[in-house]
Homo-oligomer: A and B are copies of this chain.
């Protein structure tokens, strides 16, 4: 909030991943498409509960769905995980840079 200007849509993304049931549903969908009832049976939750989780995943663009007859088919959109991996990679690079600077600093202390 106000502190970091750069932010594609990381908040809905990480929020969606911050729940074990949703991660489990996403993992299931990575294996292939599934209907709401199928996901409900796997998770043991009631249909509306599952639909709510799927709505959160949809907001994060991690899944999409289409109606087919009376069923709705959900499938994963794994490419939309990349903002998360990118941000994490960026943080790792920042950290490694700091390590390098620290090592360089240690090197300057060698001859003291």
Contacts and interface: CB of A to CB of B under 8 A. Distances in A.
Interface of A: 1-4, 7, 10-11, 13-15, 17-21, 23-28, 30-32, 42-44, 76, 78, 81, 84-85, 87-89, 91-92, 94-95, 98
Copies in the complex: 2
A38 B107 CA distance: 30
Given A2-B43, A24-B4, A91 B10 contact: no
7 contacts: A2-B43, A3-B28, A7-B23, A17-B18, A78-B95, A81-B91, A84-B84
A20 B5 CA distance: 10
Nearest to A19: B11
A85 B17 CA distance: 12
A26 B44 CA distance: 36
Contact of A31 (B15, B84, B92, B98): B98
Contact of A3 (B11, B25, B94): B25
